[in-house]
Every structure is written in C-alpha cells, then in structure tokens.
C-alpha cells in the first residue's frame, strides 16, 4: 500500500499532484513550534526535500508545543535543526532533510535561496527582522513565502506570491518594535497548529501549482474568532521590496539590527536600523502583571528577567546587562522585545 494513498484520494491533489509534491523543495526558517509542526506535516506529506534552519537548541520549556522534540533532546541540549533532522528522517526516510544550524541573517538566507532554489519558503521565525529578510529574498529570487505567527491563542497567516500579491512590507511598512511575544504573553499549542494548518495547506497548493488563498487570515482559537481580509489593494507601486524600483532594504547591512558587546561592561547593545520610538506601554503592563518591577523615566525603562537586566531606550536601543554573548543576547532580545 502506498503511504500517500489517502492524500492522493483527495481529488484536488490526486496521483499527479502527489508526483508533483515529491519533486518540491521547501525551505523552513525556524525550528521552534511553527517550524517543527510545519516540517513534520510536510515530511509526512512527502515533499522531495525540506531544508530547516535554526540557531537555537532544545530546552524544557519548548516541549509543551514544539512537537518534534523529546525530553532526551532537551537533556542533551541538541540544536533544534539537528534534533528535527533525526525525528524527520525516522518519520519518512523518502524525504531529503537538510538541517542547518545557523542564524538566519540576510547573508545566510540569500545564499540558501540562491543555491537551494526552494519552491516555497515557510516562515516559522519569532521576529520581524528575519521576516523582512525572508520578504526581500523572496522578491529577489521570485520564490513565494508564507507568513505565519502566533501569540497566546491568536494567530495569522498570509501567502506572498512575488509580482502578484502585496508583500509583507506593503502591509507593514516597517518592522514593529515592542509587540507581544510568546515569552511575555504565552502561547498555547492549538494556536500554533491553526497557523501551521493554514501554512501547510497553502504550501501544498503551491507544490501542485493550485491557486492559493490570497486573503490575510487571522483567528483567536480560544475565543472562537476567525476572519479573512482581502488585502490585495494594499500593494504599493513604490514598495522598496516588491515595487518598480527595488532596493531590498532588509538585505542591506546598514538596515540590520546590530548587536555589539560593550567592552568591559558585561553588556550587549542592540541597535535597530532606524532610530524610532519604541512602543513599550504593552510590554510594561505585561511585566507588571507578572510582578516584575519596572523602573521607568522619560528616556528609558529597565527591568530584570531571566537574571539579566534589560534597559530599553525610547530611541529604540536596548542594553542587556550581565552577558558578553551576542547569541544569548539575540535570543533574549527577540524573546522579550519581539
């Protein structure tokens, strides 16, 4: 019996669609909750190749929702990409799985897409800096990508097809600073799976060249809300990512969020590309609800979490005291400040 028989019985895919899926290459950015679930679904579905990129390792707090990982992975602190690779190969050895332990910055993503020529890129990251890079790489190499994100019981998904649909920058204009993250507001597994269900359904459609859902989907799985908005009118001719004159701003070094160790101070400074006001009202109220003391004046706010002191300046800069490790600072920054 063919392992894909039930999927082939589904008329829109069929035997021909399955043959198509078997030849496709999917690039998944991030191997956290979204990445693990996306990878498992697509590997079971029998795509030809999955490349999965992640800079992090498995921790106990991941096991509640990051479905590929086991207690053993957490005990060994295995890199997520490596742990994912082993489990995915055990699930379906027909699929070529390529794990990449790396920080998905502009240089890494540009090279991965230029060299690997994936058929679709799936966003499973936890921050907008990387999403804007994916957005530009997608336009540069004409590869569709699927945005997905969730916090609490809320989530969204949206498909970007270069030269056809508005890109993420058309919808967002700039990287938002100071919005809710899973490490502040929490996350439940059903919200992850709802996002992944949308992302993988659209990925399968792209694999068989079927029309995708062009609407922005959002939902709250706890409060029973679901909506779809037609955003096609938001496509901008002057968008620097997908418009007539493109500069791919997220691929320019000067537009990257910079991380630097402040010598002799056990401190890492994080500087977003543009100076801009940081929205911290929501962050502060979350921290206060959790009983974390926040010191605040007109110029900065500071608080301590995970034994590290954060100082957040109103011009967008952040200091993380108590570490000289840029990778650790990077992780903490995106965990708490999006």
Q: Of the two residues 141 and 259, which places its CB atom closer to Zn ion in the complex?
A: 141
**Shortest distance, position 229 Cβ to other proteins, whole Å:** 5
Cα–Cα distance, 25 to 301 (Å, whole number): 45
The sign one gets for the Cα dihedral 41, 161, 153, 10 is negative
Choose among other proteins, Zn ion, none what residue 293 binds, the Cβ cut-off being 5 to 8 Å by kind. none
Choose among other proteins, Zn ion, none what residue 33 binds, the Cβ cut-off being 5 to 8 Å by kind. other proteins
Q: Of the two residues 324 and 335, which places its CB atom closer to other proteins in the complex?
A: 335
Q: Of the two residues 128 and 303, which places its CB atom closer to other proteins in the complex?
A: 128
Stretch that binds Zn ion, among 30-38, 194-202, 223-231, 234-242 (CB under 5 A): 234-242
DSSP string, 8-60: HHSTTTHHHHHHHHHT-EEEEE--SHHHHHHHHHHHHHT-SEEEEEE--B--G
Q: Which residues of this chain interact with other proteins, rule CB under 8 A?
A: 30, 32-35, 123-128, 131, 148-151, 154-156, 171-174, 176, 179-182, 185, 187, 192, 195, 216, 218, 225, 227, 229-231, 233-234, 279, 281-282, 338
Stretch that binds Zn ion, among 116-124, 162-170, 254-262, 315-323 (CB under 5 A): 162-170
∠ CA 228-179-132, rounded to 5°? 70
**Shortest distance, position 148 Cβ to Zn ion, whole Å:** 18
Choose among Zn ion, other proteins, none what residue 300 binds, the Cβ cut-off being 5 to 8 Å by kind. none
* 239 contributes a contact to Zn ion by CB under 5 A: yes
Q: How many residues bind Zn ion (CB under 5 A)?
A: 6
* 2: exposed, middle or buried (Cβ count in 10 Å: 0-12, 13-18, 19+): exposed
Instruction: State which of residues 169, 205, 278, 330 lies at the interface with Zn ion (CB under 5 A).
Output: 169
Q: Are 97 and 43 in contact (CB under 8 A)?
A: yes
Q: Of the two residues 146 and 170, which places its CB atom closer to Zn ion in the complex?
A: 170
Cα–Cα distance, 206 to 7 (Å, whole number): 15
The sign one gets for the Cα dihedral 212, 213, 217, 223 is negative
In order of 14, 20, 38, 165, the CA distances from 8 in angstroms are 4, 11, 20, 29
* 175 contributes a contact to Zn ion by CB under 5 A: no
**Shortest distance, position 145 Cβ to Zn ion, whole Å:** 12
Which parts of the chain fold into alpha helices (H)?
A: 5-9, 14-22, 33-45, 71-76, 80-91, 106-116, 128-141, 168-172, 182-185, 189-207, 281-289, 326-337
**Shortest distance, position 273 Cβ to Zn ion, whole Å:** 18
Q: Hey, how many other C-beta atoms are within 10 angstroms of the C-beta on 186?
A: 14
* 135 contributes a contact to Zn ion by CB under 5 A: no
* 159 contributes a contact to Zn ion by CB under 5 A: no
What are 200's two structure tokens?
């993988």
Q: Of the two residues 201 and 231, which places its CB atom closer to other proteins in the complex?
A: 231
Of the candidates 150, 167, 182, 239, the residue annotated as catalytic is 182
* 182 contributes a contact to Zn ion by CB under 5 A: no
Q: Of the two residues 51 and 125, which places its CB atom closer to other proteins in the complex?
A: 125
- Is position 167 annotated as part of the catalytic site? no
Q: DSSP secondary-structure letter at 302?
A: E
Q: Are 307 and 322 in contact (CB under 8 A)?
A: yes
What are 310's two structure tokens?
């954060």
**Shortest distance, position 242 Cβ to Zn ion, whole Å:** 3
Cα–Cα distance, 331 to 221 (Å, whole number): 27
| Chain residues that interact with Zn ion, rule: CB under 5 A | 167, 169-170, 239, 241-242
Q: Where in the sequence numbering do the catalytic residues fall?
A: 182
């Amino acid at each position: 019996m063919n392992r894909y028989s039930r999927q082939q019985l589904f008329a829109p895919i069929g035997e021909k669609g399955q043959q198509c899926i078997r030849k496709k290459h999917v690039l998944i950015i991030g191997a956290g909750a979204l990445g693990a679930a996306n990878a498992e679904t697509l590997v079971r579905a029998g795509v030809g190749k999955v490349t999965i990129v992640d800079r992090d390792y498995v921790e106990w707090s991941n096991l509640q929702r990051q479905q590929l990982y086991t207690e053993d992975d957490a005990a060994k602190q295995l890199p997520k990409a490596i742990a994912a690779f082993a489990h995915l190969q055990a699930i379906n050895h027909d699929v070529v799985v390529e794990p990449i332990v790396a920080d998905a910055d502009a240089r890494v993503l540009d090279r991965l897409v230029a060299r690997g020529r994936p058929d679709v890129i799936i966003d499973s990251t936890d921050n907008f800096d990387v999403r804007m890079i994916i957005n530009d790489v997608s336009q540069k190499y004409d590869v569709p990508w699927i945005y997905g994100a969730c916090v609490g019981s809320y989530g969204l998904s949206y498909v970007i097809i270069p030269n056809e649909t508005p890109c993420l920058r058309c919808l967002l204009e700039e990287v938002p600073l100071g919005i809710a993250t899973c490490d502040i507001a929490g996350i439940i597994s059903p919200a992850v799976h709802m996002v992944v269900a949308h992302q993988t359904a659209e990925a399968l459609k792209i694999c068989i060249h079927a029309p995708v859902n062009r609407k922005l989907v959002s939902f709250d799985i706890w409060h029973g809300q679901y909506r779809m908005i037609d955003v096609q009118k938001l496509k901008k001719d002057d968008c620097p990512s997908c418009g007539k004159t493109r500069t791919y701003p997220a691929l320019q070094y000067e537009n990257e969020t910079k991380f630097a160790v402040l010598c002799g101070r056990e401190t890492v400074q994080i500087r977003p590309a543009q100076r801009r006001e940081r929205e911290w009202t929501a962050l502060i109220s979350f921290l206060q609800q959790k009983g974390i003391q926040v010191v605040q004046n007109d110029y900065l706010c500071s608080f301590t979490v995970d034994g590290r002191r954060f100082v957040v300046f109103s011009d967008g800069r952040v200091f993380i005291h108590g570490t000289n490790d840029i990778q650790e600072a990077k992780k903490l920054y995106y965990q708490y400040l999006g």
